[in-house]
Amino acid sequence: MYASVLICMWAVAATHFQVAPPAWTILVPAALTPLSVWRLVMWWRSRSVPLTVEQAARRMRQTVVIAGLLGGGFSSWALVLARYGGPFEQAHVAFFLGLTPLCCLFCLMHLRAAAFVLTLVTIVPSLIFFALSGNHVLFAIAINLALVLAIMMAILVRNSVDFDELVQSRREASLREEAARSLSEANGRPPTSMR
């Protein structure tokens, strides 16, 4: 997820080098890059490290907050860039603001709270920006994006509920297995004499 966001961000910056100030095409992307690389490396290193329930819960809460912060940072930067350039550059920003968050939503599918936060801080402001731009093409993009977003969120919620049910059923199966093992061990012991 972070790799795709970084590649897309630098592609948008590259298409704006000639039309936007260096602060927006170099400095802001350079500031967002280390944060994203840090998250990418952190998740890559911990991919096969077992976590306790408390550690997993803490990581999930952190992910929700970071999704809001980084998502807001990336989308704010892109919305500023949308003021620069001609129709092709603006279309590239619209593409970035529309499709990159959808990619992230897929990656965050099993963490609904982070997906919702990301949607609120990236796609909703983009929809409002496009709708109020006065450009009928960007307005049409906003309508298309809103429709796709509604469908994606419905799918995400359904898949997340299915995932939650799967986790719960595995937890219950594990508890039943543990109870059966304990009962089996208890039945294998010789009875204690009662005096």
Q: How far apart are CA 94 and CA 117, in angstroms?
A: 20
Looking up tokens 């990159």, which residue turns up?
A: 100
pLDDT tens digits, 66-111:
999 999 999 999 999 998 988 889 889 988 988 888 888 888 887 8
**Domain boundaries, given as residue ranges, for the chain:** 2-149
**Structural tokens at position 176:** 């039943």
**Helices in 46-135 by DSSP H: which ranges?**
53-81, 87-107, 112-118, 124-131
Q: What are 109-144's pLDDT values in tens digits?
A: 878 889 889 888 888 888 888 888 888 888 888 888
0.85 exceeded by pTM:
no
